[in-house]
Structures are given as C-alpha cells and as structure tokens.
C-alpha cells in the first residue's frame, strides 16, 4: 500500500471544506430569501430557485427513509477518510474531496434540521426545469461521480497506479535472469 502524498490529502480536505461551507452558506441564504414552493426564474423555465425541504434522496427518492440516508452519508464520509491516506492521484483527490464535501453538506442538514437529529430534511433550492430541485452539495456529488467514472475508465487507482504488470514480479524476473546469466564459472563465460 502506497502512502498518500500530503499535498493530495490537503487538496481533498480543502476542497471538501470549501464545498461544505459553500453548501451551508447557500442553504442559509435560500432559507432566508425564498418562500417554500415559490419559483423564482433565472433562465426562463430551464433554471430557477425554489425552496424545498427534501426528506429523501435525489429526486425525492427514499422519502420516509431519512435515517437510512443519514447512515449512508456517515458511511461515505468514514470511507473517504479511511481511503485518504492512500491517495496518489490528483484526480482522485478532487473526486473524493467533492464527494466528501457534498456528503457532509447534506449530512449536516440531516443532523440539525427539522424534524430532528438523523431525520432532518435537506434544503434544496436550485430548480432544474421541472425535473428536480437540488443544492450545492448535490452538484459536488454529481461532479464527483463523473470524475470517478472517468478515472475508473482510464484505469487510474486511488493510489495513482494503473493496471499492468506487477513491478515487483517484473523486478524478481529480471533478478532471476541476471542470476542465471551470471551463475556460470569463468570457463563458461
């Protein structure tokens, strides 16, 4: 297991904190500015602002299972924290930083908002047409998912490795070949 490059862990943490702060500040702004359910158009019907309190996941799925979504968010946060020491890829630092910040942003809502701890409703306010309403945390989570897919398709591991021959075996093979060549007597050479 490779150790993480410290700059990559710092990048992950700074990005996660930036997403968390931006998410929470925009939610405070949305709650103070908008009336629940009323739409304020930005780009006609394509993009607008609509304050909603979401008890479920994306697209209001799993409504009524807020406690389970809280557990999932906690597991995501813990998993990223456990993976961080192995970081060896800037792309993965970005992806995991975005994911950590987004998961933490929505987790804060689930922990501190009504109706209670672990069951709080997430503040959503960015309306994408009539399709769904999200927030900054959701944008970060989607961006992280796209990055994770791209990194996986390119075969880049969290530690920065790429699939291919195992360098340890390759080195052992070279050493064995060198030993075989050099093992003869002076008369054999």
- Residue 138 known to be catalytic: yes
- Residue 124 known to be catalytic: yes
Considering 138, 177, 187, 188, which one is annotated as catalytic? 138
Considering 23, 45, 109, 124, which one is annotated as catalytic? 124
The reply to whether the predicted model has a pTM over 0.85 is no
SS3 content of the chain, % helix, strand, coil (to 5): 60, 15, 30
Convert the pLDDT of each residue in 141-176 to its tens digit: 999 999 999 999 999 999 999 987 655 544 544 444
Evaluate the CA torsion angle 131, 49, 112, 140 in order and state its sign. positive
The beta-strand segments (E) located in the chain are: 39-43, 47-54, 122-128, 132-134
Whole-number percent of the chain with pLDDT over 70: 78
- Per-domain boundaries in the chain: 6-182
pLDDT value for 149: 97
Q: Across the strands, what pairs with 39?
A: 50
pLDDT at 135 over 80: yes
Convert the pLDDT of each residue in 7-61 to its tens digit: 999 999 999 999 999 999 999 999 999 999 999 999 999 999 999 998 866 555 5
Question: Which pLDDT band, with edges at 50, 70 and 90, does 5 fall under?
Answer: confident
Tell me the CA end-to-end span of the chain in Å, nearest whole number: 41
């Amino acid at each position: 297991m490779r150790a993480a490059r410290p700059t990559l862990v710092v990048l992950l943490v700074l990005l996660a904190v930036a997403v968390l702060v931006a998410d929470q500040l925009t939610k405070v702004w949305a709650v103070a500015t908008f009336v629940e359910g009323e739409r304020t158009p930005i780009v006609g019907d394509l993009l607008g602002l609509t304050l909603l309190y979401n008890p479920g996941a994306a697209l209001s799925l799993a409504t009524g299972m807020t406690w389970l979504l809280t557990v999932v968010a906690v597991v995501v946060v813990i998993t990223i924290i456990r993976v961080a020491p192995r970081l060896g890829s800037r792309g993965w630092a970005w992806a995991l930083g975005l994911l950590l910040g987004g998961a933490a942003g929505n987790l804060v809502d689930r922990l501190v908002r009504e109706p209670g701890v672990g069951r709080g409703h997430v503040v959503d306010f960015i309306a994408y047409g009539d399709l769904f309403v999200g927030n900054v945390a959701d944008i970060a989570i989607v961006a992280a998912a796209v990055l994770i897919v791209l990194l996986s398709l390119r075969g880049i591991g969290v530690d920065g490795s790429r699939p291919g021959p195992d360098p340890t075996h390759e080195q052992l093979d070279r050493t064995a070949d060198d030993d075989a060549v050099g093992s003869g007597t002076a008369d054999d050479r």
